[in-house]
Amino acid sequence: MKQDQSVVVTGGAGFIGSHMVDLLLSEGYKVRVIDDLSSGRSLNLEHHKNNPNLTLEEKDIRSILPSSSLFKGATYVFHFAGIGDIVPSIERPSDYFDINVQGTVKVLEASRFAGVKKLVYAASSSCYGLADVPTDEKAPIDTKYPYALSKYLGECTCFHWQKVYKLPVNSIRIFNAYGLRSRTSGAYGAVIGVFLKQKLENKPFTVVGDGNQKRDFVYASDVARAFYLTATTAKTGEIYNVGGGNPQSVNHLVELLQGEVVYLPKRPGEPDCTWANISKIMLDLNWKPIITFEDGIHKILQNIEYWREAPLWDINSIAESTKLWFNHLSQER
């Protein structure tokens, strides 16, 4: 019975992690969340505050011991905790490897000693670099910046633990996830969050390049469902792409959000199109995205006040923030 099963969600107060918690609680599991609350928000779990099946432990994953009681008796572990974004990884690469690789080792060791049934790792499609599209799981690895490399090495570490220690592992390479509760603070990052704050302040949307670049947006609750299916399947040692499978242009996003636009220089190292070939997960696990892009943006606009306290980015602050990006990733050096 699920009511007797416990699961661990690292980074469960964060963006996708909190959607994972929603799904697991709705399925009747007892959920243990580990989150240092540095990038996640405890408010993301506020709607579950009276749920006796949820516990939240404020903890840095790097401090987890192999004998951690948080993992004892857990059936599944969903590992979302880590740090993201391109710019900070260029500025602070050692932090990214410390958390995304060494932190993953701590989670793996606790999972191994607890004898969990399955660990599912939140990997990143950034490992593919400037890939041919649509991109399947066998595409060459071409990490362009430290964040991408750290997440890929975290994935490699997971599969090494399966090979050596027989810990059952699957990995999901997430494409462009969006939805409610995406990050509202920190470094210059995901385009939708940047645009939402600009809309709230009646400022123009800062579109990079000509806006014709496409991203394979996938709604967070669809991502959570993919993780659940990847945990509960008998399959192990698998890598799955998860995206919408239907890339949308930034110009179309702007049309849906409605507002004025200013254009910024195209940045090096960014693909013209991200597009997940999702045929493998559709075939193996009968997963497919449910929330259309238009419906997803509508949901976000209905809850736009969530982004009220997010930083406001403009041409000058973006240029300053991405200066190192241009310096280090430009092909003309």
Parallel, antiparallel, or unpaired for β 214-215 and 169-174? Answer: unpaired
User: If DSSP codes are grouped into helix, strand and coil, which group holds residue 171?
Assistant: strand
Q: Answer for the pair 169, 104: CB distance below 8 angstroms, yes or no.
A: no
- In the chain, % helix, strand, coil (3-state, to 5) comes to 45, 20, 40
Cα 159 to Cα 68, 108, 155, 168, distances in angstroms? 21, 10, 7, 9
Catalytic residue among 29, 96, 121, 147: 147
Hey, which bits of the chain come out as E strands? 6-10, 30-35, 54-58, 74-79, 118-124, 169-174, 176-178, 205-208, 214-215, 217-219, 239-242, 248-249, 261-264
Is there a contact between 310 and 185 (Cβ–Cβ < 8 Å)? yes
Q: Reply yes or no on whether 147 is catalytic.
A: yes
Catalytic residues: 147
